Amino acid sequence: MTSEHRTQVPSALPTPARINLLDLDRAGFERLFAELGQKPFHGRNVFKWLHKHGVVGFDAMTDLPKTLRQRLGEQTEIRLPRIVHEQPSGDGTRKWVLELADGQRVETVYIPEVGRSTVCVSSQVGCALDCTFCATARQGFNRNLSVGEIIAQVWHVTRQIGTAPTNVVMMGMGEPLANFEAVVAAMGIMQDDLAYMLSKHRVTLSTSGIVPNIYRLREVADVSLAVSLHAPDNTLRDQLVPINRKYPLEELIPACRAFIAGDKRRRVTWEYVMLDGINDSLTHAKRLIRLLEGTPSKVNLIPFNPFPGTDFATTPPERVEAFRQRLLRSGLMAMTRKTRGDEIAAACGQLVGRVADRTRRQAVPLDLRLAAR
């Protein structure tokens, strides 16, 4: 047989990656279904099946045409992280370790209270900001989470507890404003009426202070803002929260004021971890009062939660209370946060997951790491 008549065997083509529906908000569902030649309401229905009802099998979505269900199964998927560990605490707090598709692990915490519940959600695998008193920072940084990996944490907790939480705080592993687009999209899904129906007062983003993205956040998201402050002056905050060397208090405070401008009901929540002999004196309290003057504020005083290898110690309760009383006398709203989940390393600053640190700390971009020069 001549070469002209030989049968040509086509080379194998790569299988296109299927779309993870968890990565799409409602508008993304509508666009996808339009591309599939379907009516937008089918996209809204699948979005509702997935988030409000927790259904991940297309065959169970009985209001969809059978041919559409088959096509979704061929071209899309619902890729959830796998729960590999669950740890309950005696106070009702529960922590889940979630394994992602690449083997990285992050942690999610559920905190029940009378009349409300809070889920603490991670936004990154590890953290690049290197705050000195935080266990997550000790683990290094690997990558940002996708929209699907962020919202899957809320999806899993909702299924585990049987109802959607009343509050979500972006206070888990990572710096949310360093993963801006994915975090904003995930918070939008949390607030969607066809998903978890959380109001703007029930979704809180906590940042260490990436100032440009605080201004950006105000333009695209209607959520509450918390700031990891931890010091009343630049000298001390440079040591505790290294990003302050890039965005000092002279820039951070105006950005936070701008975020709540025009809404008399809003306040900035300032997170202030109480470190024995470091930032907990009455002199520090007076400096904090001066710093926050003119800014509608609520100060959360957080007893330091120790972790292996730390050099810090927890401020004694009587000194925490003296600090709080000094803030109250000045007119600042101040409360001491009750430590929850510390026995299972689920308290503030204790989340570690499992991070294959690909940065080795030196390779993180300077606008994130901000190592002293």
Residue 71's domain is classified under what CATH number? 1.10.150.530
- Same domain, yes or no, for 30 and 87? no
As a whole number of angstroms, the distance between CA 161 and CA 110 comes to: 9
Of 89-103, 155-169, 288-302, 303-317, the range with the lowest mean pLDDT is 303-317
Residues 6+ away with beta carbon under 8 Å from 206: 169, 170, 171, 176, 226, 227, 228, 271
- Same domain, yes or no, for 353 and 298? yes
Among candidate residues 30, 107, 175, 271, the one labeled active-site is: 107
Residue 242's domain is classified under what CATH number? 3.20.20.70
- Same domain, yes or no, for 26 and 105? no
As a whole number of angstroms, the distance between CA 282 and CA 285 comes to: 5
- Same domain, yes or no, for 35 and 158? no
Among candidate residues 120, 127, 256, 348, the one labeled active-site is: 348
Q: What is the pTM of this model?
A: 0.86
Is 8 within the bounds of a domain?
no
Supply the mean pLDDT for the chain.
87
- Same domain, yes or no, for 55 and 195? no
- Same domain, yes or no, for 142 and 230? yes
Is 353 within the bounds of a domain?
yes
Active site residue 256: no
Choosing from 77, 99, 116, the residue where a domain stops is 77
As a whole number of angstroms, the distance between CA 136 and CA 133 comes to: 9
- Same domain, yes or no, for 263 and 350? yes
Choosing from 56, 77, 98, the residue where a domain stops is 77
Q: What is the pLDDT of residues 51-60, one digit of tens each?
A: 999 999 999 9
- Same domain, yes or no, for 60 and 118? no
- Same domain, yes or no, for 168 and 231? yes
Is 306 within the bounds of a domain?
yes
- Same domain, yes or no, for 23 and 159? no
Question: What is the total count of domains within the chain?
Answer: 2
- Same domain, yes or no, for 207 and 330? yes
Active site residue 348: yes
As a whole number of angstroms, the distance between CA 34 and CA 31 comes to: 5
- Whole-number pLDDT of residue 99: 96
Q: What is the pLDDT of residues 229-272, one digit of tens each?
A: 999 999 999 999 999 999 999 999 999 999 999 998 899 999 99
Task: Quote the domain boundaries for residue 263.
Answer: 82-369
Please say whether the beta carbons of 206 and 170 come within 8 A: yes
> pLDDT band for position 154 (50/70/90)?
very high
Choosing from 55, 77, 99, the residue where a domain stops is 77
Q: What is the pLDDT of residues 120-148, one digit of tens each?
A: 999 999 888 877 777 766 677 889 999 99
Q: What is the pLDDT of residues 224-233, one digit of tens each?
A: 999 999 999 9
- Same domain, yes or no, for 170 and 196? yes
Is 14 within the bounds of a domain?
no
The SS3 of residue 177 is helix
